[in-house]
Amino acid sequence: MVVSRLAARPGPASVDYLPHRCVSVTVDTDEGPLDVIGLYVPSRDATEAKTTRKRTFLDQCRTGIPQAGEALRLVLGDFNILEPTHVPRYRFFQQFEYGFYEWLGTAGYADAFRALHPDAAEYSWVGRTGDGYRYDHVHASQVLATALRGCAYVHGVRAGQDRLTDHSALSVSLAVQPVASLAVTAPDRAADPAPALF
């Protein structure tokens, strides 16, 4: 799901395998079109079926996500993978998982959090045993990387009183401005409120 205060149109990325796990939109900014590609990479366990599912999806992403080139582009989401230099190092991750993170670099994308916080150890998901993992990522095209102003994990939604999710949120700030914002009305103040799930 994509929620935006900017008019959005379909973006340049798509995958044929588990297509609902790759959402791509484009919005207009003062610097030109900005593509936002959201991924929800399948998790896996030791079974062959889940390993094949994750490997196939990541392989599809390599062909379905365009090279960064000169585009303003973000690739973000729950990757269910770690950077190869993650501390601590967990033995159960396989090279194909680290390889996808490395592929993003060769395709012209930079890890936004790591670019701004080269030595920080932050975790976006913490297991029952207390082991931390940085599963959630924002990768920016090299052109857009110069506009990075902030990238931080918001732990309150995971570890706070409400515990809305088992993952920390990830916030990224860019020095680009939207061409135009959509009018927004609080749902409880709308003339004809839309139905809501909660």
What is the residue extent of each domain of the chain? Answer: 9-189
pLDDT recorded at residue 61 = 98
Q: Each residue of 8-48: pLDDT tens digit?
A: 999 999 999 999 999 999 999 999 999 999 999 999 999 99
Q: Which CATH number fits domain 9-189: 3.90.226.10, 3.60.40.10, 3.40.50.300, 3.60.10.10?
A: 3.60.10.10
- Phi (first) and psi of residue 173, to 5 degrees: -115, 135
Two tokens at 76?
């973000």
pLDDT at 156: 84
Distance between CA atoms of residues 29 and 7, nearest Å? 11
3-state secondary structure of 12: coil
Instruction: Please tell me the number of Cα atoms within 13 Å of 198 on its side-chain side.
Output: 0
pTM of the model: 0.90
Give every residue of the chain whose pLDDT is below 50, as ranges.
Answer: 197-198
Q: Rounded distance, CA 38 to CA 7, Å?
A: 17
> 130 is written with which tokens?
């207390």
Amino acid 198: pLDDT: 41
The β-bridge relationship of strands 32-40 and 72-78 is: parallel
The pair of structure tokens assigned to 144 is 């857009």
What lies within 8 Å, CB to CB, of 146 at 6+ separation is none
Torsion of CA 71, 13, 139, 84, to 10 degrees: -130
Instruction: Give me the half-sphere count of Cα atoms (radius 13 Å) on the Cβ side of residue 21.
Output: 18
Q: Report H helices in the chain.
A: 48-64, 95-106, 112-116, 142-145, 156-159
pLDDT of residue 132: 92
pLDDT of residue 194: 56
Residue 157 to residues 80, 81, 164, 167, 190, Cα–Cα distance (Å): 18, 21, 5, 8, 27
Nearest to 175 by CA among 139, 151, 191: 151
